[in-house]
Amino acid sequence: MNKICRIVLVVLIIPIAVYVSALSAMDQETAPRLNRPVAANNEFAFDIYRKMAAPGKNLFISPLSMVTAFSMVYAGSRGVTAREFEKVFHFKVTGEDMARDWSALMEDMNTRAKGGAYRLDSANRVWIGKNVTPVDTFIDVMKKYYDAGLKQLDFAGKPEESRAAINKWVAKNTNDKITGLVPEGAITKATNLVLTNAVYFLGTWERPFDDKATARADFFVTPAVKKEVDMMKSFGHFKYFENNELQAVSLPYKNKDGRGDGLSMIVLLPKGRAGIAGLEKKLTIDNWKKWNTRLEKNEVSVYLPRFEVTSFASLAEVLRQMGMKTAFTPRADFSGMAPGVAISEAFHKAYVKVNEKGTEAAAATAVIMVKANGGKKFTFRADHPFMFAICDNGTGAILFIGRVEDPGK
């Protein structure tokens, strides 16, 4: 069950977005500032999900963690390199305005999580080599908008000790769910800076599944192959939608005062047991918004397998394919961060565990910089491959997204 699904790619993680009605209730100044980063995050989420999803493989990623880490790197980019960031990550504003928008989104989500029934933590850090002098304005942006602590490491003299320090910080900020993010050999004498983000989520269901109702049941890995899994069951009023192609259900996490602006897991189940590939092709912003707006409270019997997924990915090649042509080459322009640096590699790792009580999820991203050179009753039985996303109801931002082809892996 705790088997790691390794995906070494040509890019990274699955995001899904929804523009929730709560945004319309915000004041006219605040709403655009949150809408822009949410739109960027969700569009990137779909792009990277399509790149990373592979037949027969489970997948779990955090577009929120990825975009956060790369928006920090973007703050130091200039010229053609900056334009590539804006295209790949769908940034709606440029320069410091992007950092300001992203800060507003994170502050909004963190504020609503404080004192609530769920836990949502996010942390950033910039690791600086001894012989590197970052540009002052870059450091100012990191502190002002990302609350990013700065730590000096001896990359050249003690590369493995430096790697251990980064991985220890990541583990601490993900409740020890993300370990070994930066692999052996990734930190070298040429490393100048490393930028990291960590996200941790722990939530209990608003309507927990009954432990006693969980039973062994068939899960169709393919239309012809099935295996027994622990299938959870719940019955009640859930937001639900279906059409000829799919069923969708929103499973809310417990929130303070019973407000509806917390987090939910939205599960998308294709109607056919072999339909996940076709569903993934329809993953667009427009369809996602349409499906979400059609979710309505209904009586639903929900069957969902327990599952646990860990995914690891190297992002460099994927991002190159998505359009970041210069950032990983000596032609990179990060003169707003430090002179003569480029991205050598980027790593992402994410973990999720879903059971009767709720969900625990964590993710981390590291970017390594080196010298350049209605009334009806429904049944929702997830007994074949499905997709899911953990979304912030207050803004519509997709925090995590994934797929389950085999909950027993």
CB 266 within 8 A of CB 292: yes
- Measuring CA to CA, which residue among 140, 127, 126, 72 is closest to residue 102? 72
* Report field, pTM of the whole predicted structure over 0.75: yes
Kind of pairing between the strands at 377-381 and 296-305:
parallel
Kind of pairing between the strands at 263-270 and 296-305:
unpaired
**Predicted pLDDT at 13:** 25
Distances in Å between the alpha carbon of 165 and those of 47, 76, 169, 250, 284?
32, 24, 6, 39, 39
Q: Which residue has the tokens 């209990």?
A: 204
Q: Which residue has the tokens 């010229």?
A: 79
How close are the terminal C-alpha atoms of the chain, in Å? 5
Number of CB atoms found within 10 A of residue 290's CB: 13
**Predicted pLDDT at 376:** 62
Considering Cα of 221, then 298, then 355, then 205, what sign does the dihedral take? positive
**Predicted pLDDT at 33:** 81
d(CA 399, CA 46): 12
CB 14 within 8 A of CB 402: yes
Distances in Å between the alpha carbon of 255 and those of 10, 265, 393?
37, 13, 11
DSSP 222-264: ETTEEEEEEEEEEEEEEEEEE-SSEEEEEEEBP-GGG-SSSEE
Chain mean position to CA 284: 17
d(CA 390, CA 17): 10
268 Cβ neighbours under 8 A, 6+ residues apart? 246, 247, 248, 279, 291, 386, 387, 388, 389
The pLDDT profile of the chain, 409 residues, written as one tens digit per residue, is 333 332 222 222 223 233 333 333 344 456 778 999 999 999 999 999 999 999 889 999 999 999 999 999 999 999 999 999 999 999 999 999 999 999 999 999 999 888 888 999 999 999 999 989 999 999 999 999 999 999 999 999 999 999 999 999 999 999 999 999 999 999 999 999 999 999 999 999 999 999 999 999 999 999 999 999 999 999 999 999 999 999 999 999 999 776 667 899 999 999 998 889 999 999 999 999 999 999 999 999 999 999 999 999 999 999 999 999 999 999 999 999 998 999 999 999 999 999 999 999 999 999 999 988 744 667 888 989 989 999 999 999 999 999 999 998 7
d(CA 274, CA 194): 42
CB 267 within 8 A of CB 387: yes
**Predicted pLDDT at 23:** 37
d(CA 123, CA 199): 7
Q: Could you say which DSSP state residue 254 is in?
A: P
- Measuring CA to CA, which residue among 170, 173, 131 is closest to residue 152? 131
Tokens of 197: 């983000």
**Predicted pLDDT at 29:** 55
**Predicted pLDDT at 3:** 36
Which strand (E) or helix (H) includes residue 68? Answer: helix 63-74
d(CA 392, CA 390): 7
- Measuring CA to CA, which residue among 242, 391, 239, 348 is closest to residue 13? 348
